Structure 1
Amino acid sequence: MIKVLADSTCDLSPELVEKYNIGIIPLYVRLGDVEYKDGINITPSELYAWSDKHGETPKTAAPSVEDIEKFLDKDSTDEYIIFTISSSMSASFNNARLAAEDLGIENRVHVIDSANLSTGIGLQVLYAAELAASDMNADDIVKELDDIRDKVRASFVIDTLVYLHRGGRCSGLAALVGGALKLHPRIAVSEGAMHPEKKYRGKDIRYVMDYVKDMESDLLSANKKRVFITHSGCDRDIVESVRDYLTSLNHFDEILETNAGAVVSSHCGPGTLGVLFIAE
């Protein structure tokens, strides 16, 4: 049997995790001296309250080698495909490889550096889960994943630069900071890292819809299977406007909505929304 695992930064909903039988390995979030597990005992709203009170970005940490080993059975014949957040952003990828080596089952464990984050990972996870359900063998699934990794289009527009600036995770962001905190940058993931692409002005729904409509030609030429709307607590009317627009394109078989987990939210902040898909 092939078991598909992913670290918690994939931001898949509990419903999708259950439907596709995916094992989720939580990362850690540290608020001061207190440590929590992403998706287990900390919510983004609690994280924002702490961050705003202390003027700090919470610290995040990869699951330990020992944490990951708990998801692997060295005495079985199962094969595992494990997805992690981009290796340039976390030690999650390296720790997963070490866990397989420590148990002596690296021949049965395929660790995938997603080179992405959030549902940019989730798109790859669902793709692998569907291939596994079709009885494709693990080596062939990994080859298929190699073919689509660079086709994943992950971007998001943020409401406030404060969290990204505090966390220092976005290269090139310094050029936007200073007197420009009212700007709403579009951040895209490429080559495993986050980069600012474009700046929007305006409030709420206006700049979010500008961001989405800028992608129309890419959306219309995307893989039809699914598109994600992933956000960190946006107003319902904004999310529904994005959904209505994507529906109006008459292109995607599935329009899925997920909420960003605590790790991703800790760097992007509240009001962040992304539309993520796979290019053809």
Structure 2
Amino acid sequence: MYKIISDTSCDLTKEEIKDLGVEYVPFKISIDGVEYEDDYNLSIQEYLDRMEKTENPIKTACPSPYDYLKIIEKNIDKDIYILTISSKLSGSYNSAKIAEQEAKDKFRNVKIYVIDTKSASAGHTRIVLKLLDLLKDKSFEEVIPVIEKEANNETTMFVLESMKNLIKNGRIKKSAGLIA
């Protein structure tokens, strides 16, 4: 038996999550003091409207170690795989690693492995689906090197409609954003 835990960088539908037994740990997004959880209760239109209207930076927060630990503790009798957005894009991987260590300290026989998908969105989803396929006929120990190899082969590229949010959040200079 196994449990797959993922942050919400993965793009499975609500139905797929239920059917595949994946559990999400949501990111949090704050716009002008209003906090949103990136889960299936999120009103995308309200979120996009508020994001477009604000002149203030949009703040995001990755899941905390405690967010991961809560789910781990409910599944300590299973092999646990945690998949996160690229560690180059978020602290989600670090939070998962802290939760992994806390769980291993607390529950000596728990099997947990944290996978940095080195991707986001579709790439992250591909790694989750590949893991599910591998779990059909491989043990915990056999899955790890294969899924790590898959993640290491990921290449992530982004296409943005606008540089506005990158400028607002100070990720790029205004002049560079306007030129781009």
TM-score by length of 2: 0.84
Residues 47 and 58 of structure 1 are in contact (CA less than 8 Å); yes or no, is this contact kept in structure 2? Answer: no
* SS in structure 2 at match of 1:72: helix
Aligned to 1:159: 161
Q: How does 1:189-268 map to 2 (within 5 A)?
A: none
Aligned pair count reads 177
Residues 83 and 116 of structure 2 are in contact (CA less than 8 Å); yes or no, is this contact kept in structure 1? Answer: yes
Change (3 A) 1:100 1:114: same
Measure, in 1, the Cα distance between the counterparts of 2:54 and 2:75: 47
Aligned to 1:113: 116
Change (3 A) 1:46 1:124: same
Larger radius of gyration: 1
Residues 81 and 138 of structure 1 are in contact (CA less than 8 Å); yes or no, is this contact kept in structure 2? Answer: no
Q: How does 1:132-211 map to 2 (within 5 A)?
A: 132=135, 134-169=136-171, 176-180=176-180
Measure, in 1, the Cα distance between the counterparts of 2:91 and 2:47: 22
Residue 123 in 1 paired to residue 126 in 2? yes
- Mark the runs of 5 or more structure 2 residues left unpaired by the alignment: none
The letter of the residue matching 1:144 is V
Structure with greater strand percent: 1
Structure with greater helix percent: 2
**CA-based RMSD:** 2.4
Measure, in 2, the Cα distance between the counterparts of 1:174 and 1:120: 29
Measure, in 1, the Cα distance between the counterparts of 2:12 and 2:174: 30
Aligned to 1:49: 49
The letter of the residue matching 1:94 is N
Residues 29 and 60 of structure 1 are in contact (CA less than 8 Å); yes or no, is this contact kept in structure 2? Answer: yes
State the shift of 1:38 in Å: 0.4
Measure, in 1, the Cα distance between the counterparts of 2:22 and 2:74: 19
Provide the identity percentage: 27
Residue 17 in 1 paired to residue 20 in 2? no
State the shift of 1:88 in Å: 2.2
Residues 117 and 154 of structure 2 are in contact (CA less than 8 Å); yes or no, is this contact kept in structure 1? Answer: no
The letter of the residue matching 1:68 is Y
Runs of at least 4 residues of structure 1 off by over 6 A? none
Measure, in 2, the Cα distance between the counterparts of 1:100 and 1:2: 15
Aligned to 1:259: none
Residues 28 and 60 of structure 2 are in contact (CA less than 8 Å); yes or no, is this contact kept in structure 1? Answer: yes
The letter of the residue matching 2:111 is R
* SS in structure 1 at match of 2:12: coil
* SS in structure 2 at match of 1:125: helix
Measure, in 2, the Cα distance between the counterparts of 1:98 and 1:114: 17
State the shift of 1:165 in Å: 3.0
- Mark the runs of 5 or more structure 1 residues left unpaired by the alignment: 181-280
The letter of the residue matching 2:20 is Y
Measure, in 1, the Cα distance between the counterparts of 2:75 and 2:48: 42
* SS in structure 1 at match of 2:71: coil
Post-superposition CA distance 1:41-86 (Å, at most 9, x none): 3233222211222223421101112111111137843111100111
TM-score by length of 1: 0.56
Change (3 A) 1:75 1:164: closer
* SS in structure 2 at match of 1:98: helix
Change (3 A) 1:56 1:139: farther
